[in-house]
Amino acid sequence: MAVDAKKTGERMAYLLTNVGFGPGAWRLDQSSDRIEAPGVLEGYREGGWREKVWEHTVGVFDKALATGEGNISQ
């Protein structure tokens, strides 16, 4: 399933500005509703995924900024 860029941007803006979500990680469905499944995120935390995702994200931005190109796909 794919969502076009405009709709994705709208959803991200909503999630970033909605006080109901606050800081942290949330599992969401295709309608941006929370998925309540106790215990799932704990496994990611214990596996060090917070750091892995952060390192990957910083690496992608570093690569994009170093090349000066708009295309950051690998």
Confidence of residue 47 (pLDDT cuts 50, 70, 90): very high
Domain count within the chain: 2
Residue 28's SS3 state is strand
Confidence of residue 3 (pLDDT cuts 50, 70, 90): confident
Token pair listed for 6: 């405009």
Residues 20 and 44 in one domain: no
Residues 32 and 46 in one domain: no
Q: What's the pLDDT score for residue 11?
A: 87
Residues 43 and 28 in one domain: no
Report whether 29 contacts 35 (CB < 8 A). yes
32 vs 59, higher pLDDT: 59
Cα–Cα distance for residue pair 71/74, rounded to 1 Å: 9
**Residue range of the domain that includes 2:** 1-36
Q: What's the pLDDT score for residue 26?
A: 79
Residues 44 and 19 in one domain: no
Q: What is the mean pLDDT of residues 22-37?
A: 80
For 62, other C-beta atoms within 10 Å of its C-beta total 10
Residues 19 and 49 in one domain: no
Residue 4's SS3 state is coil
What dihedral angle (degrees, nearest 10) is formed by the CA atoms of 8, 26, 50, 17? 60
